[in-house]
Every structure is written in C-alpha cells, then in structure tokens.
Amino acid sequence: MSNLIKFAVEFGSSAKLRAMTEQELVEAMQSYELSLEEQAAILSREPKRLADLGNGDVYCILFPEKPGEEDEEEPTPEKEDTTKVA
C-alpha cells in the first residue's frame, strides 16, 4: 500500500489528525514520507489536485492458466433450515 493511501486511511479515521494545525499536518505527512507534490495537493484542499495524484500509469500483466491448473472452488456450507416456535 502506498504511503499516500496509508496516510489517507489514517487521516480519515483519526479525529486527532483532522484537528491538527497546518504545521502539525505537514509534520505528519513527512512522517509518512509523502512527496512534496502529494503534500501540496493535500494542503491545497482542491479536489482536482487530489484526484490527479492517482492518474499515474498503471501496468498489469495477465498470465494464462497452465494446462492442468484449475482453481478449486471451496464448497459453501448450506444454511440449516431452522424454525423456532415461541
């Protein structure tokens, strides 16, 4: 998980982080080793700048299944039909 994501998760779940002064916030971002670009975007409070942080190139490689390899599906336990009479 990237440091930016870790910071965002912590920021979103911590009232303490949301109540920090700007200087305390900068120190917190530095402790997560966020880049200057990431820090500036967060401090700007501009949604477009924040959204643009995630617009980097993404690379994905798909490997074909080898012959004889099959995903084993685990059987799902069936729910018991229970009726309770009061």
Residues 30-59 have pLDDT tens digits of 999 999 999 999 899 888 988 888 777 778
- Residues 6+ positions from 53 with CB-CB distance below 8 Å: 4, 37, 38, 41
How many residues are present in the chain?
Answer: 86
Binned at pLDDT 50, 70 and 90, residue 19 comes out as: confident
Give CA–CA dist 8/2, Å, rounded: 10
Predicted local confidence at residue 76, as pLDDT: 61
Locate 5 and state its tokens.
């994501």
**Torsion of the alpha carbons at 62, 68, 69 and 73, rounded to the nearest 10:** 130
Q: What is the mean pLDDT of residues 12-41?
A: 89
Q: What is the model's pTM?
A: 0.56
